[in-house]
């Protein structure tokens, strides 16, 4: 009876061990089963299920932005895996990396296929997001500062260079103006206006020749309309039915030719004519 109980207890013990470890013990020995389980648990396992002993590793020298990094990686890792490792070293996102080893390193091939050797130098080109922001931010700041500075500028009519002409008052022979009205260009020259030196000036629009004639007492300048870069206008403070107007004849504001006391009803027609929208009436 005792023998039967002993045998039955042994069977239960073996069943319990098998249920716990889920495999058949080598040689039917509970001790062997436990030993086998401990051995398996001590073996390091990678994310891919491969043991460290199964991987052939290489030491690489990563060179990026004048910095050097040492990296150990499996030869069976892909170029994409290498980019992830580089990201962990440098903070450079994989999408912003250009990895060079005998040319541009392909992401879908293993380092073994690419024939990467132990001690190889891997060149990396790219900028981190912070670097990109650091480059762009100053430009944005400068643009904001310029815009703020422009907003601070006093109106053109208040600037000294213009005041010395406007303070002479409205010319006696200036053409009549119509505030709030838009009219086509007249068939005769616009006359009786001042230029920035305070001399009399007239504007003649030669549409058939695509020219603007700017005439003074001394001479007449014949300017191709296509060469005029911009037309700047601003109503004259206190006399909003007349405008001051500048024709930009070169690439910078220094080349602006100013005309004062332009009748308001012709301002839009002048801009359209000079900048390409001819008025055929």
Sheet holding 67-74, edge to edge: 67-74, 57-64, 121-125, 98-100
Residue that is written with structure tokens 């001394």 in the block: 218
Contact criterion met (CB below 8 Å) for 17 and 30: yes
CA-based nearest residue to 262, from 194, 212, 213: 194
Residue 218: its H or E element: none
- Return the DSSP state at 20: H
**2.30.29.30, 3.10.100.10, 3.40.50.720, 2.60.40.3080: CATH of 156-275:** 2.30.29.30
Rounded Cα distance between 158 and 67, Å, is: 56
Amino acid 73: pLDDT: 93
Residue ranges of the chain whose pLDDT lies below 70: 1-54, 128-154, 276-281
Rounded Cα distance between 215 and 230, Å, is: 19
String of DSSP letters for 180-196: T---PPPSS-EEEEEET
CA distance to 59, 82, 93, 178, per residue, from 72 (Å)? 5, 10, 19, 82
Amino acid 53: pLDDT: 43
pTM of the model: 0.45
Segments of the chain assigned to CATH 3.10.20.90: 57-132
- Tokens at residue 177, please? 């103006």
Rounded Cα distance between 98 and 83, Å, is: 9
Contact criterion met (CB below 8 Å) for 161 and 245: no
Amino acid 244: pLDDT: 95
Rounded Cα distance between 31 and 28, Å, is: 9
Contact criterion met (CB below 8 Å) for 82 and 122: yes
Residue that is written with structure tokens 């296929």 in the block: 113
Segments of the chain assigned to CATH 2.30.29.30: 156-275
CA-based nearest residue to 190, from 257, 245, 246, 263: 263
Decide if domain 57-132 falls under CATH 3.10.20.90: yes
């Amino acid at each position: 009876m005792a023998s039967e109980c002993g045998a039955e207890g042994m069977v239960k013990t073996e069943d319990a061990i098998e249920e716990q470890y889920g495999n058949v013990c080598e040689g039917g020995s509970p001790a062997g089963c436990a030993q086998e389980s401990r051995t398996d648990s001590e073996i390091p396992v990678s994310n891919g299920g491969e043991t460290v002993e199964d991987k052939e590793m290489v030491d690489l020298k990563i060179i990026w932005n004048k910095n050097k990094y040492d990296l150990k990686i499996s030869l069976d890792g892909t170029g994409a895996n290498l980019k992830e490792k580089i990201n962990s070293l440098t903070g450079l996102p994989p999408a912003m990396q250009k990895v060079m080893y005998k040319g541009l390193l392909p992401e879908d091939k293993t380092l073994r296929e690419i024939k990467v050797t132990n001690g190889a130098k891997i060149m990396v080109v790219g900028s981190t997001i912070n670097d990109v922001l650091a480059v762009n931010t100053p430009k944005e700041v400068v643009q904001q500062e310029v815009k703020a500075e422009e907003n601070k500028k006093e109106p053109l009519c208040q600037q000294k260079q213009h005041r010395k002409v406007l303070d002479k008052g409205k010319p006696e022979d200036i053409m009549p103006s119509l505030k709030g009205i838009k009219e086509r260009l007249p068939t005769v020259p616009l006359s009786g206006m001042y230029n920035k030196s305070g001399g009399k000036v007239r504007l003649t629009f030669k549409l058939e020749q695509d020219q603007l004639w700017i005439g003074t007492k001394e001479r007449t300048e014949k300017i191709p309309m296509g060469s005029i870069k911009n037309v700047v206008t601003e109503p004259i403070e206190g006399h909003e039915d007349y405008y001051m107007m500048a024709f930009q004849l070169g690439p910078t504001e220094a080349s602006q030719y100013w005309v004062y006391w332009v009748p308001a009803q012709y301002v839009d027609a002048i801009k359209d004519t000079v900048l390409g929208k001819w008025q055929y009436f």
